[in-house]
Structure 1
Protein backbone atom coordinates (compact mmCIF):
# COMPACT_ATOMS: atom_id res chain seq x y z
CA UNK A 1 0.00 0.00 0.00
CA UNK A 2 1.35 3.39 -0.99
CA UNK A 3 -0.57 6.57 -0.14
CA UNK A 4 0.35 10.14 -1.04
CA UNK A 5 -1.20 13.35 0.29
CA UNK A 6 -0.34 16.78 -1.15
CA UNK A 7 -1.52 20.07 0.34
CA UNK A 8 -0.09 22.72 -1.96
CA UNK A 9 -1.57 25.80 -0.21
CA UNK A 10 -0.06 24.82 3.12
CA UNK A 11 3.08 23.45 1.48
CA UNK A 12 2.59 20.15 3.22
CA UNK A 13 3.56 16.89 1.52
CA UNK A 14 3.12 13.59 3.33
CA UNK A 15 3.82 10.07 2.12
CA UNK A 16 3.03 6.75 3.74
CA UNK A 17 4.35 3.41 2.51
CA UNK A 18 3.22 0.09 3.91
CA UNK A 19 5.63 -2.57 2.64
CA UNK A 20 5.12 -6.03 4.16
CA UNK A 21 3.58 -4.60 7.33
CA UNK A 22 6.42 -2.11 7.74
CA UNK A 23 5.69 1.58 7.94
CA UNK A 24 7.61 4.37 6.27
CA UNK A 25 6.17 7.86 6.77
CA UNK A 26 7.54 11.17 5.49
CA UNK A 27 6.39 14.73 6.15
CA UNK A 28 7.69 17.84 4.37
CA UNK A 29 6.82 21.38 5.43
CA UNK A 30 8.20 23.72 2.78
CA UNK A 31 7.29 27.06 4.43
CA UNK A 32 8.95 26.14 7.72
CA UNK A 33 11.76 24.22 6.04
CA UNK A 34 10.95 21.22 8.16
CA UNK A 35 11.71 17.65 7.10
CA UNK A 36 10.72 14.81 9.38
CA UNK A 37 11.29 11.13 8.86
CA UNK A 38 9.76 8.27 10.83
CA UNK A 39 10.57 4.60 10.42
CA UNK A 40 8.96 1.65 12.20
CA UNK A 41 10.32 -1.56 10.74
CA UNK A 42 9.62 -4.51 13.04
CA UNK A 43 10.13 -2.45 16.19
CA UNK A 44 13.12 -0.57 14.71
CA UNK A 45 15.24 -3.66 15.05
CA UNK A 46 16.81 -3.22 11.62
CA UNK A 47 18.94 -0.15 10.85
CA UNK A 48 18.24 2.03 7.83
CA UNK A 49 20.46 4.79 6.46
CA UNK A 50 19.17 8.20 5.35
CA UNK A 51 21.04 10.66 3.15
CA UNK A 52 19.65 14.09 2.21
CA UNK A 53 21.10 15.05 -1.15
CA UNK A 54 19.08 18.22 -1.88
CA UNK A 55 16.40 20.13 0.00
CA UNK A 56 13.85 17.94 -1.75
CA UNK A 57 15.61 14.65 -2.38
CA UNK A 58 15.95 11.62 -0.16
CA UNK A 59 17.72 8.34 -0.75
CA UNK A 60 17.37 5.19 1.33
CA UNK A 61 19.52 2.10 1.10
CA UNK A 62 18.20 -0.92 3.01
CA UNK A 63 20.17 -4.15 2.49
CA UNK A 64 21.10 -3.14 -1.05
CA UNK A 65 17.53 -2.19 -1.91
CA UNK A 66 16.71 1.33 -3.00
CA UNK A 67 13.93 3.63 -1.88
CA UNK A 68 14.28 7.04 -3.54
CA UNK A 69 11.91 9.94 -3.19
CA UNK A 70 12.36 13.20 -5.13
CA UNK A 71 10.41 16.45 -4.97
CA UNK A 72 10.99 19.10 -7.63
CA UNK A 73 9.51 22.48 -6.83
CA UNK A 74 9.53 24.26 -10.24
CA UNK A 75 6.93 26.65 -11.64
CA UNK A 76 4.43 25.67 -8.96
CA UNK A 77 4.51 22.07 -10.06
CA UNK A 78 5.28 19.12 -7.78
CA UNK A 79 6.40 16.14 -9.85
CA UNK A 80 7.12 13.08 -7.73
CA UNK A 81 9.43 10.27 -8.75
CA UNK A 82 9.36 7.09 -6.68
CA UNK A 83 11.56 4.06 -7.16
CA UNK A 84 11.01 1.15 -4.84
CA UNK A 85 12.64 -2.21 -5.33
CA UNK A 86 11.77 -5.00 -2.94
CA UNK A 87 14.67 -6.31 -0.85
CA UNK A 88 16.50 -9.08 -2.61
CA UNK A 89 15.80 -12.55 -1.31
CA UNK A 90 18.87 -13.87 0.45
CA UNK A 91 19.50 -17.25 1.91
CA UNK A 92 19.48 -17.27 5.72
CA UNK A 93 22.87 -17.69 7.33
CA UNK A 94 21.52 -20.27 9.78
CA UNK A 95 20.29 -23.83 9.34
CA UNK A 96 17.52 -25.72 11.12
CA UNK A 97 18.55 -29.28 11.98
CA UNK A 98 17.73 -32.06 14.39
CA UNK A 99 19.14 -31.89 17.90
CA UNK A 100 22.29 -33.85 18.64
CA UNK A 101 23.98 -34.66 21.93
CA UNK A 102 26.72 -32.07 21.45
CA UNK A 103 24.01 -29.37 21.70
CA UNK A 104 23.01 -30.47 25.21
CA UNK A 105 24.62 -27.78 27.36
CA UNK A 106 23.86 -24.94 24.93
CA UNK A 107 20.21 -25.94 24.62
CA UNK A 108 19.67 -26.17 28.36
CA UNK A 109 21.34 -22.80 28.88
CA UNK A 110 19.27 -21.12 26.14
CA UNK A 111 16.08 -22.57 27.61
CA UNK A 112 16.92 -21.47 31.17
CA UNK A 113 17.91 -17.92 30.24
CA UNK A 114 14.97 -17.57 27.86
CA UNK A 115 12.48 -18.37 30.62
CA UNK A 116 14.02 -16.50 33.56
CA UNK A 117 14.46 -13.30 31.51
CA UNK A 118 10.71 -12.73 31.77
CA UNK A 119 10.87 -12.21 35.54
CA UNK A 120 11.03 -8.41 35.37
CA UNK A 121 8.19 -8.14 32.84
CA UNK A 122 5.96 -10.30 35.03
CA UNK A 123 6.96 -8.31 38.12
CA UNK A 124 6.11 -4.93 36.55
CA UNK A 125 2.76 -6.35 35.50
CA UNK A 126 2.12 -7.49 39.07
CA UNK A 127 2.91 -4.14 40.68
CA UNK A 128 0.62 -2.38 38.17
CA UNK A 129 -2.44 -4.28 39.42
CA UNK A 130 -5.02 -2.17 41.32
CA UNK A 131 -5.38 -4.66 44.18
CA UNK A 132 -1.60 -4.71 44.67
CA UNK A 133 -1.54 -0.90 44.87
CA UNK A 134 -4.41 -0.99 47.37
CA UNK A 135 -2.61 -3.60 49.48
CA UNK A 136 0.65 -1.63 49.52
CA UNK A 137 -1.17 1.58 50.43
CA UNK A 138 -3.04 -0.16 53.24
CA UNK A 139 0.22 -1.61 54.52
CA UNK A 140 1.86 1.81 54.50
CA UNK A 141 -1.02 3.37 56.45
CA UNK A 142 -1.14 0.55 59.00
CA UNK A 143 2.59 0.79 59.67
CA UNK A 144 2.38 4.56 59.82
CA UNK A 145 -0.47 4.38 62.31
CA UNK A 146 1.35 1.76 64.38
CA UNK A 147 4.88 3.13 64.40
CA UNK A 148 4.37 6.79 63.54
CA UNK A 149 7.45 6.55 61.31
CA UNK A 150 7.37 7.34 57.60
CA UNK A 151 10.76 5.67 57.24
CA UNK A 152 9.64 2.34 58.73
CA UNK A 153 6.40 2.46 56.77
CA UNK A 154 8.29 3.04 53.51
CA UNK A 155 10.70 0.23 54.34
CA UNK A 156 7.78 -2.14 54.93
CA UNK A 157 6.32 -1.29 51.52
CA UNK A 158 9.72 -1.66 49.86
CA UNK A 159 10.20 -5.09 51.38
CA UNK A 160 6.75 -6.10 50.16
CA UNK A 161 7.60 -4.96 46.62
CA UNK A 162 10.85 -6.93 46.77
CA UNK A 163 8.86 -9.97 47.92
CA UNK A 164 6.61 -9.63 44.85
CA UNK A 165 9.69 -9.68 42.61
CA UNK A 166 10.93 -12.82 44.38
CA UNK A 167 7.52 -14.46 43.92
CA UNK A 168 7.62 -13.86 40.16
CA UNK A 169 11.21 -15.05 39.93
CA UNK A 170 10.38 -18.15 41.95
CA UNK A 171 7.64 -19.02 39.45
CA UNK A 172 10.05 -18.98 36.52
CA UNK A 173 12.99 -20.54 38.37
CA UNK A 174 10.73 -23.33 39.60
CA UNK A 175 9.44 -23.98 36.09
CA UNK A 176 12.98 -24.13 34.73
CA UNK A 177 14.13 -26.50 37.48
CA UNK A 178 11.17 -28.82 36.85
CA UNK A 179 11.75 -28.84 33.08
CA UNK A 180 15.50 -29.47 33.37
CA UNK A 181 14.72 -32.45 35.61
CA UNK A 182 12.13 -33.95 33.23
CA UNK A 183 12.01 -33.58 29.44
CA UNK A 184 15.22 -31.50 29.27
CA UNK A 185 17.20 -34.03 31.31
CA UNK A 186 17.62 -36.53 28.46
CA UNK A 187 16.60 -34.68 25.31
CA UNK A 188 17.71 -37.42 22.94
CA UNK A 189 15.62 -40.05 24.67
CA UNK A 190 12.60 -37.89 25.42
CA UNK A 191 12.22 -36.19 22.05
CA UNK A 192 14.02 -38.22 19.40
CA UNK A 193 13.28 -41.80 20.43
CA UNK A 194 9.51 -41.50 20.75
CA UNK A 195 6.83 -41.37 18.07
CA UNK A 196 5.21 -37.97 17.75
CA UNK A 197 8.09 -36.14 19.44
CA UNK A 198 10.90 -34.13 17.85
CA UNK A 199 13.49 -31.49 18.71
CA UNK A 200 15.29 -29.05 16.40
CA UNK A 201 17.97 -26.42 16.82
CA UNK A 202 19.01 -23.47 14.69
CA UNK A 203 22.75 -23.37 14.05
CA UNK A 204 24.51 -20.14 13.16
CA UNK A 205 28.27 -19.81 12.68
CA UNK A 206 28.85 -23.10 14.46
CA UNK A 207 26.79 -22.32 17.56
CA UNK A 208 23.24 -23.07 18.66
CA UNK A 209 21.12 -19.99 17.93
CA UNK A 210 17.67 -21.29 18.79
CA UNK A 211 15.59 -24.33 19.64
CA UNK A 212 12.08 -25.73 19.40
CA UNK A 213 10.32 -29.01 20.09
CA UNK A 214 7.14 -30.81 19.09
CA UNK A 215 5.12 -33.25 21.20
CA UNK A 216 1.62 -34.73 21.26
CA UNK A 217 -0.72 -32.42 23.22
CA UNK A 218 -0.10 -32.58 26.96
CA UNK A 219 -2.52 -33.32 28.53
CA UNK A 220 -4.05 -35.41 25.71
CA UNK A 221 -7.05 -33.78 24.06
CA UNK A 222 -8.14 -36.54 21.70
CA UNK A 223 -7.52 -34.20 18.77
CA UNK A 224 -5.00 -34.83 16.01
CA UNK A 225 -2.82 -31.92 17.09
CA UNK A 226 0.88 -31.25 17.58
CA UNK A 227 2.04 -29.11 20.50
CA UNK A 228 4.87 -26.63 20.00
CA UNK A 229 7.24 -26.52 22.97
CA UNK A 230 10.55 -25.03 24.09
CA UNK A 231 10.77 -22.27 21.46
CA UNK A 232 13.66 -20.01 22.46
CA UNK A 233 16.23 -17.82 20.71
CA UNK A 234 19.13 -16.11 22.56
CA UNK A 235 18.93 -12.33 22.74
CA UNK A 236 21.94 -11.78 20.48
CA UNK A 237 20.35 -13.81 17.67
CA UNK A 238 16.91 -12.24 17.72
CA UNK A 239 15.66 -10.18 14.81
CA UNK A 240 17.08 -12.59 12.23
CA UNK A 241 13.92 -14.59 11.55
CA UNK A 242 15.15 -17.62 13.51
CA UNK A 243 12.10 -17.88 15.79
CA UNK A 244 9.79 -17.68 12.78
CA UNK A 245 11.77 -20.39 10.97
CA UNK A 246 11.67 -22.67 14.02
CA UNK A 247 7.94 -22.12 14.39
CA UNK A 248 7.43 -22.91 10.69
CA UNK A 249 9.46 -26.10 11.18
CA UNK A 250 6.93 -27.38 13.71
CA UNK A 251 4.01 -26.40 11.48
CA UNK A 252 5.58 -28.29 8.55
CA UNK A 253 6.21 -31.28 10.82
CA UNK A 254 2.56 -31.29 11.88
CA UNK A 255 1.37 -30.93 8.30
CA UNK A 256 3.46 -33.91 7.13
CA UNK A 257 2.03 -36.01 9.96
CA UNK A 258 -1.48 -35.18 8.83
CA UNK A 259 -2.28 -33.17 11.96
CA UNK A 260 -5.11 -30.66 11.86
CA UNK A 261 -3.52 -28.01 14.09
CA UNK A 262 -0.51 -26.87 16.09
CA UNK A 263 -1.22 -25.76 19.65
CA UNK A 264 0.92 -24.08 22.28
CA UNK A 265 0.81 -22.18 25.54
CA UNK A 266 2.84 -19.24 26.78
CA UNK A 267 2.77 -16.83 29.70
CA UNK A 268 1.25 -13.35 29.56
CA UNK A 269 4.65 -11.73 30.08
CA UNK A 270 6.13 -13.30 26.93
CA UNK A 271 4.92 -10.45 24.74
CA UNK A 272 7.30 -10.98 21.80
CA UNK A 273 6.34 -14.65 21.57
CA UNK A 274 2.62 -13.79 21.49
CA UNK A 275 3.20 -11.22 18.73
CA UNK A 276 5.12 -13.79 16.69
CA UNK A 277 2.36 -16.39 17.01
CA UNK A 278 -0.35 -13.96 15.97
CA UNK A 279 1.73 -12.76 13.04
CA UNK A 280 2.18 -16.34 11.86
CA UNK A 281 -1.54 -17.06 11.89
CA UNK A 282 -2.11 -18.52 15.34
CA UNK A 283 -5.25 -17.49 17.19
CA UNK A 284 -5.73 -17.27 20.91
CA UNK A 285 -8.14 -19.94 22.09
CA UNK A 286 -8.12 -19.54 25.87
CA UNK A 287 -6.61 -17.73 28.83
CA UNK A 288 -6.23 -19.23 32.30
CA UNK A 289 -4.38 -18.60 35.52
CA UNK A 290 -1.24 -20.60 36.22
CA UNK A 291 -1.98 -23.72 38.28
CA UNK A 292 -0.63 -22.58 41.62
CA UNK A 293 -2.17 -20.72 44.55
CA UNK A 294 -0.37 -17.41 44.10
CA UNK A 295 -1.06 -17.34 40.34
CA UNK A 296 -4.34 -15.44 40.54
CA UNK A 297 -3.00 -12.99 43.15
CA UNK A 298 -0.11 -11.88 40.92
CA UNK A 299 -2.25 -12.26 37.76
CA UNK A 300 0.09 -14.84 36.24
CA UNK A 301 -1.85 -15.92 33.17
CA UNK A 302 -1.25 -18.64 30.61
CA UNK A 303 -2.31 -17.92 27.02
CA UNK A 304 -3.27 -20.75 24.66
CA UNK A 305 -2.88 -20.50 20.89
CA UNK A 306 -3.80 -22.68 17.94
CA UNK A 307 -2.74 -22.71 14.30
CA UNK A 308 -5.22 -24.52 12.07
CA UNK A 309 -3.54 -26.38 9.21
CA UNK A 310 -5.51 -26.00 5.96
CA UNK A 311 -6.89 -29.24 4.60
CA UNK A 312 -5.09 -30.21 1.42
CA UNK A 313 -7.50 -30.39 -1.53
Structure 2
Protein backbone atom coordinates (compact mmCIF):
# COMPACT_ATOMS: atom_id res chain seq x y z
CA UNK A 1 0.00 0.00 0.00
CA UNK A 2 3.01 2.29 -0.44
CA UNK A 3 2.02 5.66 -1.98
CA UNK A 4 -1.69 4.73 -1.77
CA UNK A 5 -4.07 7.18 -0.13
CA UNK A 6 -7.76 6.55 0.45
CA UNK A 7 -9.74 9.77 0.66
CA UNK A 8 -13.20 11.15 0.07
CA UNK A 9 -14.24 11.88 -3.48
CA UNK A 10 -13.73 15.39 -4.89
CA UNK A 11 -15.46 16.87 -7.93
CA UNK A 12 -12.16 16.90 -9.83
CA UNK A 13 -12.13 13.08 -9.62
CA UNK A 14 -15.27 12.68 -11.74
CA UNK A 15 -13.73 11.63 -15.05
CA UNK A 16 -11.14 9.37 -13.43
CA UNK A 17 -13.84 7.61 -11.40
CA UNK A 18 -15.91 7.00 -14.53
CA UNK A 19 -12.88 5.60 -16.33
CA UNK A 20 -12.02 3.18 -13.51
CA UNK A 21 -15.65 2.06 -13.30
CA UNK A 22 -16.11 1.62 -17.06
CA UNK A 23 -12.87 -0.32 -17.54
CA UNK A 24 -13.65 -2.52 -14.54
CA UNK A 25 -17.11 -3.40 -15.83
CA UNK A 26 -15.84 -4.05 -19.38
CA UNK A 27 -13.43 -6.67 -18.02
CA UNK A 28 -16.43 -8.91 -17.27
CA UNK A 29 -17.45 -9.23 -20.93
CA UNK A 30 -15.32 -12.35 -21.68
CA UNK A 31 -16.38 -14.22 -18.52
CA UNK A 32 -20.04 -13.34 -19.11
CA UNK A 33 -19.80 -14.56 -22.69
CA UNK A 34 -18.29 -17.86 -21.51
CA UNK A 35 -21.03 -18.18 -18.88
CA UNK A 36 -23.67 -17.82 -21.59
CA UNK A 37 -21.99 -20.45 -23.77
CA UNK A 38 -22.10 -22.95 -20.90
CA UNK A 39 -25.86 -22.65 -20.43
CA UNK A 40 -28.10 -25.47 -21.76
CA UNK A 41 -30.39 -23.12 -23.79
CA UNK A 42 -27.37 -21.73 -25.63
CA UNK A 43 -25.91 -25.15 -26.31
CA UNK A 44 -29.31 -26.40 -27.48
CA UNK A 45 -29.66 -23.45 -29.86
CA UNK A 46 -26.19 -24.06 -31.28
CA UNK A 47 -26.92 -27.73 -31.78
CA UNK A 48 -30.27 -27.07 -33.48
CA UNK A 49 -28.74 -24.49 -35.82
CA UNK A 50 -25.91 -26.81 -36.77
CA UNK A 51 -28.10 -29.90 -37.30
CA UNK A 52 -30.79 -28.03 -39.25
CA UNK A 53 -28.32 -26.39 -41.61
CA UNK A 54 -26.24 -29.54 -41.94
CA UNK A 55 -29.33 -31.50 -42.93
CA UNK A 56 -30.62 -28.93 -45.39
CA UNK A 57 -27.31 -27.93 -47.00
CA UNK A 58 -25.40 -31.23 -46.91
CA UNK A 59 -22.31 -29.15 -46.23
CA UNK A 60 -20.15 -28.31 -43.21
CA UNK A 61 -19.39 -24.81 -44.43
CA UNK A 62 -22.83 -23.24 -43.97
CA UNK A 63 -23.41 -24.62 -40.42
CA UNK A 64 -19.95 -23.55 -39.32
CA UNK A 65 -20.45 -20.08 -40.77
CA UNK A 66 -23.85 -19.79 -39.10
CA UNK A 67 -22.46 -20.88 -35.71
CA UNK A 68 -19.62 -18.38 -36.07
CA UNK A 69 -22.08 -15.57 -36.79
CA UNK A 70 -24.29 -16.69 -33.88
CA UNK A 71 -21.34 -16.57 -31.47
CA UNK A 72 -20.22 -13.20 -32.79
CA UNK A 73 -23.74 -11.85 -32.35
CA UNK A 74 -23.95 -13.26 -28.82
CA UNK A 75 -20.70 -11.59 -27.83
CA UNK A 76 -21.83 -8.27 -29.27
CA UNK A 77 -25.03 -8.63 -27.26
CA UNK A 78 -22.95 -9.03 -24.09
CA UNK A 79 -20.91 -5.95 -25.00
CA UNK A 80 -24.13 -4.02 -25.61
CA UNK A 81 -25.55 -5.09 -22.25
CA UNK A 82 -22.47 -3.95 -20.34
CA UNK A 83 -22.24 -0.68 -22.27
CA UNK A 84 -25.90 -0.03 -21.53
CA UNK A 85 -25.33 -0.67 -17.82
CA UNK A 86 -22.30 1.64 -17.81
CA UNK A 87 -24.24 4.40 -19.59
CA UNK A 88 -27.17 4.00 -17.20
CA UNK A 89 -24.82 4.33 -14.23
CA UNK A 90 -23.31 7.47 -15.74
CA UNK A 91 -26.79 8.97 -16.04
CA UNK A 92 -27.82 8.01 -12.51
CA UNK A 93 -25.62 7.90 -9.39
CA UNK A 94 -22.32 8.62 -11.18
CA UNK A 95 -23.76 11.68 -12.92
CA UNK A 96 -23.38 13.66 -9.70
CA UNK A 97 -21.46 11.68 -7.11
CA UNK A 98 -21.44 14.66 -4.79
CA UNK A 99 -25.24 14.86 -4.76
CA UNK A 100 -25.81 11.10 -4.62
CA UNK A 101 -23.27 10.11 -1.98
CA UNK A 102 -21.72 13.08 -0.18
CA UNK A 103 -24.81 15.16 0.57
CA UNK A 104 -27.00 12.28 1.68
CA UNK A 105 -27.19 10.89 5.21
CA UNK A 106 -25.11 7.77 5.89
CA UNK A 107 -23.60 7.83 2.41
CA UNK A 108 -20.08 8.38 1.16
CA UNK A 109 -17.78 7.85 -1.82
CA UNK A 110 -14.04 7.25 -1.59
CA UNK A 111 -11.20 6.98 -4.06
CA UNK A 112 -7.83 5.28 -3.77
CA UNK A 113 -5.12 7.56 -5.08
CA UNK A 114 -1.61 6.57 -6.18
CA UNK A 115 0.88 9.28 -7.12
CA UNK A 116 -1.94 11.70 -7.84
CA UNK A 117 -3.91 9.22 -9.95
CA UNK A 118 -7.26 7.65 -9.01
CA UNK A 119 -6.80 3.85 -9.13
CA UNK A 120 -9.73 2.61 -7.07
CA UNK A 121 -13.23 3.52 -5.93
CA UNK A 122 -15.86 2.42 -3.44
CA UNK A 123 -19.08 3.89 -2.08
CA UNK A 124 -21.90 3.13 0.31
CA UNK A 125 -25.42 4.29 1.01
CA UNK A 126 -28.42 3.02 2.99
CA UNK A 127 -29.54 -0.38 1.69
CA UNK A 128 -32.98 -0.11 0.12
CA UNK A 129 -34.11 -3.63 1.00
CA UNK A 130 -32.26 -4.12 4.30
CA UNK A 131 -33.25 -1.52 6.94
CA UNK A 132 -30.50 -0.49 9.33
CA UNK A 133 -27.69 -1.56 6.98
CA UNK A 134 -25.50 0.17 4.43
CA UNK A 135 -24.82 -1.16 0.95
CA UNK A 136 -21.32 -1.28 -0.50
CA UNK A 137 -21.32 -0.10 -4.12
CA UNK A 138 -19.02 0.89 -6.99
CA UNK A 139 -16.04 -1.16 -5.81
CA UNK A 140 -13.38 -1.14 -8.50
CA UNK A 141 -9.58 -1.15 -8.66
CA UNK A 142 -7.53 -0.51 -11.79
CA UNK A 143 -5.97 -3.68 -13.17
CA UNK A 144 -2.49 -2.12 -12.94
CA UNK A 145 -2.84 -1.67 -9.17
CA UNK A 146 -4.40 -4.95 -8.10
CA UNK A 147 -2.67 -7.27 -5.68
CA UNK A 148 -1.55 -4.38 -3.47
CA UNK A 149 -4.27 -4.60 -0.83
CA UNK A 150 -6.24 -1.63 -2.18
CA UNK A 151 -9.54 -3.51 -2.47
CA UNK A 152 -9.20 -4.80 1.10
CA UNK A 153 -8.50 -1.28 2.35
CA UNK A 154 -11.55 0.05 0.51
CA UNK A 155 -13.69 -2.70 2.06
CA UNK A 156 -12.40 -1.83 5.52
CA UNK A 157 -13.13 1.85 4.89
CA UNK A 158 -16.79 1.05 4.21
CA UNK A 159 -17.00 -1.29 7.23
CA UNK A 160 -15.51 1.36 9.55
CA UNK A 161 -17.86 4.03 8.17
CA UNK A 162 -20.85 1.71 8.68
CA UNK A 163 -19.76 0.77 12.21
CA UNK A 164 -19.24 4.42 13.20
CA UNK A 165 -22.84 5.14 12.25
CA UNK A 166 -24.16 2.33 14.40
CA UNK A 167 -25.50 0.28 11.51
CA UNK A 168 -25.83 -3.47 11.91
CA UNK A 169 -24.17 -4.68 8.73
CA UNK A 170 -22.80 -4.00 5.28
CA UNK A 171 -24.54 -5.69 2.37
CA UNK A 172 -23.49 -5.89 -1.27
CA UNK A 173 -24.44 -7.56 -4.52
CA UNK A 174 -22.13 -9.20 -7.03
CA UNK A 175 -22.60 -11.57 -9.96
CA UNK A 176 -21.78 -15.15 -10.85
CA UNK A 177 -19.02 -14.04 -13.23
CA UNK A 178 -17.19 -11.87 -10.68
CA UNK A 179 -15.19 -14.72 -9.14
CA UNK A 180 -12.34 -12.57 -7.81
CA UNK A 181 -14.79 -10.22 -6.12
CA UNK A 182 -16.57 -13.14 -4.45
CA UNK A 183 -13.26 -14.46 -3.10
CA UNK A 184 -12.28 -11.01 -1.82
CA UNK A 185 -15.53 -10.46 0.04
CA UNK A 186 -15.44 -13.91 1.61
CA UNK A 187 -11.86 -13.31 2.80
CA UNK A 188 -13.06 -10.05 4.34
CA UNK A 189 -15.67 -11.90 6.38
CA UNK A 190 -18.75 -11.44 4.19
CA UNK A 191 -21.21 -14.32 4.04
CA UNK A 192 -23.28 -15.20 1.01
CA UNK A 193 -26.88 -15.09 2.22
CA UNK A 194 -28.91 -15.19 -0.99
CA UNK A 195 -28.63 -15.89 -4.69
CA UNK A 196 -31.16 -15.03 -7.34
CA UNK A 197 -31.41 -14.60 -11.10
CA UNK A 198 -31.32 -11.02 -12.37
CA UNK A 199 -34.86 -9.85 -13.33
CA UNK A 200 -34.16 -8.99 -16.99
CA UNK A 201 -35.54 -11.47 -19.53
CA UNK A 202 -32.22 -12.29 -21.14
CA UNK A 203 -30.66 -12.78 -17.69
CA UNK A 204 -33.33 -15.34 -16.90
CA UNK A 205 -32.72 -17.15 -20.18
CA UNK A 206 -28.97 -17.47 -19.54
CA UNK A 207 -29.30 -17.96 -15.77
CA UNK A 208 -27.28 -14.85 -14.88
CA UNK A 209 -27.21 -15.17 -11.10
CA UNK A 210 -26.62 -12.41 -8.56
CA UNK A 211 -25.30 -13.00 -5.04
CA UNK A 212 -26.13 -11.00 -1.92
CA UNK A 213 -23.36 -10.83 0.69
CA UNK A 214 -23.54 -9.54 4.24
CA UNK A 215 -20.90 -8.48 6.78
CA UNK A 216 -22.49 -8.61 10.22
CA UNK A 217 -20.73 -5.91 12.23
CA UNK A 218 -22.55 -6.70 15.46
CA UNK A 219 -21.36 -10.30 15.41
CA UNK A 220 -17.90 -9.11 14.40
CA UNK A 221 -17.83 -6.79 17.41
CA UNK A 222 -18.90 -9.58 19.78
CA UNK A 223 -16.17 -11.87 18.48
CA UNK A 224 -13.58 -9.15 19.13
**Normalised-by-shorter TM-score class:** over 0.9
- Per-residue CA distance 1:228-247 (angstroms, 9 max, x = gap): 00000000000000000001
What residue is the counterpart of 2:105 in the other structure? 195
CA drift at 1:267: 1.3
Q: Give the structure with the larger strand fraction.
A: 1
Report the secondary structure of 2:118's partner residue: strand
Answer 1 or 2: higher relative contact order, Cα 8 Å, separation at least 6. 2
**RMSD over aligned Cα, in angstroms?**
1.4
In 1: Cα distance, 2:41 partner to 2:152 partner: 37
In 2: Cα distance, 1:242 partner to 1:217 partner: 24
**1:308 and 2:220 matched:** no
What residue is the counterpart of 2:182 in the other structure? 274
What residue is the counterpart of 2:68 in the other structure? 158
Q: Give the structure with the larger helix fraction.
A: 2
User: What does 1:49-64 correspond to in 2, within 5 Å?
Assistant: none
- Per-residue CA distance 1:276-295 (angstroms, 9 max, x = gap): 00000001111111121010
In 1: Cα distance, 2:43 partner to 2:137 partner: 35
What residue is the counterpart of 2:148 in the other structure? 240
User: What does 1:69-148 correspond to in 2, within 5 Å?
Assistant: 92-148=2-58
User: What does 1:19-58 correspond to in 2, within 5 Å?
Assistant: none
Normalising by structure 2, we get a TM-score of 0.94
In 1: Cα distance, 2:85 partner to 2:187 partner: 27
Give ranges in structure 1 of 5+ residues lacking alignment: 1-90
In 1: Cα distance, 2:67 partner to 2:111 partner: 44
CA drift at 1:258: 0.4
Report the secondary structure of 1:302's partner residue: strand
Match for 1:255 among 156, 160, 163? 163
Normalising by structure 1, we get a TM-score of 0.68
Segments of 4+ moved more than 4 angstroms: none
CA drift at 1:146: 1.9
- Per-residue CA distance 1:180-210 (angstroms, 9 max, x = gap): 0000001111111111210000111111110
Aligned length: 221
CA drift at 1:299: 2.1
- Per-residue CA distance 1:9-39 (angstroms, 9 max, x = gap): xxxxxxxxxxxxxxxxxxxxxxxxxxxxxxx
Report the secondary structure of 2:119's partner residue: strand
In 2: Cα distance, 1:132 partner to 1:101 partner: 44
In 2: Cα distance, 1:301 partner to 1:177 partner: 22
CA drift at 1:171: 2.1
